[in-house]
Structure 1
Amino acid sequence: MKKRICVIGGGRWGQNHIRTLASLGHLGAIVEADAERLTLLLEQYPGIEGYSGIDEAIRTHYDGYTVALPAEMHYPVGVKLLQRGLNVLMEKPMTLTSAESAELVRLAGESGARLMVGHVLLFHPAYRKIKEIIDSGKLGKLFYLYSCRLNLGTVRTEESVFSSFAPHDISILDYLTGDSACSIKAKGSKFLQDKVYDSTLTLLEYPHNVHAHIFVSWLHPYKQQLLVAVGSKGMIAFDDATPEKEIHFYNKRIDMKNGIPVKVEAPDEIIAYEKKQPLTEELAYFVEHLDSTIGINDGQAGYEVVKVLETVQQIIEKQ
């Protein structure tokens, strides 16, 4: 029997969940408090159950629930679901505090529920391919990575740019290194508003002397979503904001010969990868692992991202 998933939240991103799960044949129900919006969605997806609140949807015990609500609602809704042992995909950020995230991880462990967090770029085929390249040893020993997420807007009035832009970058760096940062430094700048940071630079150190930095800003003349990874044998660059979305392998390195640095270069490559929709891949993965183990972006990984967000905010506010 096909798994049936209930989507909690019929807003912009919730509708992406609804459309994608329907295309996969796994949409079972929709929870949406706005009666007019719920009616429109049920007309668009006939045969799907609809609820104005989560309690009745919980009683029905669907195979899994995706939560696409405002971030402040993630924790209370997550508690309700996980206490009952129900499988959950929680959109990012997992919660607003690391303490809340840790509690959701604990509840999932106690109840045996599957808990996954929706850092959708971990299912972007380009980042999956880059992970494959790093793990294959093609780059040699990984030295450092950097990630830039830049644009003009969208400027928030209650949330700093790091909290708004950087969750993707943190999750990608953790995924590519296979670990979480053991040291964090950060600097932020405020230009437009007294309490909101418009630009931040964050330095992270990972185990095995792997370093990284994240530069995010919504005051930038052009859009850039660039990841660079540098190793002892080669380097990779990928900019998701370009039309081509190509992975470039730079066959370049520095060798030490008799104590002298020597530059070594060979022809560069464009690494082919299969173009797929990240959200489709993410939701399909969630459904496929409801009866096994969530190996990509489980609750613990989501907690680690929230912890970095929280730590950076504390650092920049003390500067």
Structure 2
Amino acid sequence: MTIKVAVLGAGRWGVHLVRNFLENPQALLVAVVDPNLDRLAALRSRYQLDESVVLATNWEQVRELPELEAVAIVTPASTHYNLIADALQQGYHVLAEKPLTLYPDECYELCRLAEQQQRQLVVDHTYLFHPAVIGGQAVMQKGTLGELRYGYAARTHLGPVRQDIDAMWDLAIHDIAIFNSWLGETPSQVQATGNVWLQNGLADLVWVTLTYPSGFQAYIHLCWSNPDKQRRLAVVGSQGTLIFDELLTESPLTVQHGTFEQKGNKFEPINQSREVVNLESGEPLKRVCEHFLSCVSQNAPSTVSSGLVGANLVQILRAMTESLEKGGVPISVTQLL
């Protein structure tokens, strides 16, 4: 079964989706939409696109293409709601770039619409398909770390600086998705504080605390104004720490084993060792596309990154925004579905 797909948005990430759909035998790329004609021309040349692939500057030009079955939406988040809603109403399955939208109510409405239309809504939370995140889930399920104590993450770099959203909306969703996946729960309370240096109203630095129903807490450092590039996340337990360091490409997932032995009033480290977790190979975005096409072919909801998963993450981000605006007061998070 070949699924006819259109990609809306041919920017930095959209180009990668175009490439993956072109390489996947389950997909037939029939259209690419982007307002930038030069970008479309470059895309045609780069991938030697067949003349049958429609290159259009707006959605209206392709929304009624014959036999179109699915669309991937890789446009600015502020445009997501209208585009996704229209695509679903047209009877298309949708793969949406994160965040699903900027408002929880819109997200949940899209989830209901997808269900009513009996179409699949999948969100491209790429890290949920990363071999290291999948491998981390297995480590967590084995109980290797002992009693879980806390988590921490750092996602920093010198840019890119967004002009539509702050560093928290740009970066935090990745680490929250990973923590939620590894812990098997979602935060019940959040706190966020930040600093603004570059653009009025858009925080360049944000510190986040996530509190889960189990009592577990995770602390996240987010900054796009820091030359020290970090992509590191860890969960600490009584017997060791699980570490995902994306910049260590040869061994991104490790377990640092170790605990204490009490001798009198002293605590001495014991059983210390470093274990590299063996991972399957594979590009995460390729897995996203394969997963989406599988959901479409079976007309079955995603078990990894459904619209509801995306909606709940937006709900968490909105609560974090409220906390940030109120100077870091704790905000309860209610998952609506």
Same fold (TM over 0.5): yes
SS state of the match for residue 62, structure 2?
Answer: helix
SS state of the match for residue 3, structure 2?
Answer: coil
Equivalent residue runs for 1:85-164 within 5 Å: 85-164=91-170
% identical aligned pairs: 29
String of CA shifts for 1:41-66, please: whole Å, max 9, x gaps. Answer: 44522154315243453333433211
> 2:112 and 2:176 mapped to 1: Cα distance?
22
- Using the TM superposition, give the Cα deviation of residue 241 of structure 1 relative to its aligned residue in structure 2, in angstroms: 2.1
SS state of the match for residue 279, structure 2?
Answer: coil
The 1:37–1:263 alpha-carbon spacing in structure 2 relative to 1, beyond 3 Å, is closer
Equivalent residue runs for 1:155-304 within 5 Å: 155-254=161-260, 263-290=269-296, 291=298, 292-304=300-312
Task: Tell me which amino acid in the other structure corresponds to 1:31.
Answer: V
String of CA shifts for 1:166-211, please: whole Å, max 9, x gaps. Answer: 1211211222122221111111122333322111111111122222
The 1:105–1:196 alpha-carbon spacing in structure 2 relative to 1, beyond 3 Å, is same
- Using the TM superposition, give the Cα deviation of residue 28 of structure 1 relative to its aligned residue in structure 2, in angstroms: 2.4
- Using the TM superposition, give the Cα deviation of residue 246 of structure 1 relative to its aligned residue in structure 2, in angstroms: 2.8
Task: Tell me which amino acid in the other structure corresponds to 1:46.
Answer: D
SS state of the match for residue 80, structure 2?
Answer: helix
Question: Which blocks of at least 5 consecutive residues in structure 2 are unaligned?
Answer: 328-337
Task: Tell me which amino acid in the other structure corresponds to 2:29.
Answer: G
Structure 1 residue aligned with 2:28:
27
SS state of the match for residue 248, structure 1?
Answer: strand
Q: TM-score, normalised by structure 2?
A: 0.86
- Using the TM superposition, give the Cα deviation of residue 120 of structure 1 relative to its aligned residue in structure 2, in angstroms: 0.8
The answer on whether the counterparts of 1:140 and 1:231 sit within 8 Å (CA) in structure 2 is yes
Structure 2 residue aligned with 1:58:
63
- Using the TM superposition, give the Cα deviation of residue 261 of structure 1 relative to its aligned residue in structure 2, in angstroms: 6.4
Structure 2 residue aligned with 1:2:
2
Query: Which deviates further from its counterpart, 90-99 or 7-16?
Result: 7-16
> 2:195 and 2:251 mapped to 1: Cα distance?
30
The answer on whether the counterparts of 2:187 and 2:211 sit within 8 Å (CA) in structure 1 is yes
SS state of the match for residue 268, structure 1?
Answer: strand
> 1:186 and 1:70 mapped to 2: Cα distance?
24
- Across the aligned residues of Structure 1 and Structure 2, the Cα RMSD in angstroms comes to 2.4
> 1:270 and 1:113 mapped to 2: Cα distance?
40
String of CA shifts for 1:196-250, please: whole Å, max 9, x gaps. Answer: 2111111111122222121101232310100111123321112112343432211
- Using the TM superposition, give the Cα deviation of residue 11 of structure 1 relative to its aligned residue in structure 2, in angstroms: 2.3
Alignment: residue pair count: 319
SS state of the match for residue 63, structure 2?
Answer: helix
Question: Which blocks of at least 5 consecutive residues in structure 1 are unaligned?
Answer: none
- Using the TM superposition, give the Cα deviation of residue 149 of structure 1 relative to its aligned residue in structure 2, in angstroms: 0.1
Task: Tell me which amino acid in the other structure corresponds to 2:196.
Answer: K
The answer on whether the counterparts of 1:61 and 1:86 sit within 8 Å (CA) in structure 2 is no
2:49 is equivalent to residue 45 of structure 1: yes
- Using the TM superposition, give the Cα deviation of residue 145 of structure 1 relative to its aligned residue in structure 2, in angstroms: 1.8
Task: Tell me which amino acid in the other structure corresponds to 1:300.
Answer: L
Equivalent residue runs for 1:301-316 within 5 Å: 301-316=309-324
The 1:224–1:48 alpha-carbon spacing in structure 2 relative to 1, beyond 3 Å, is farther
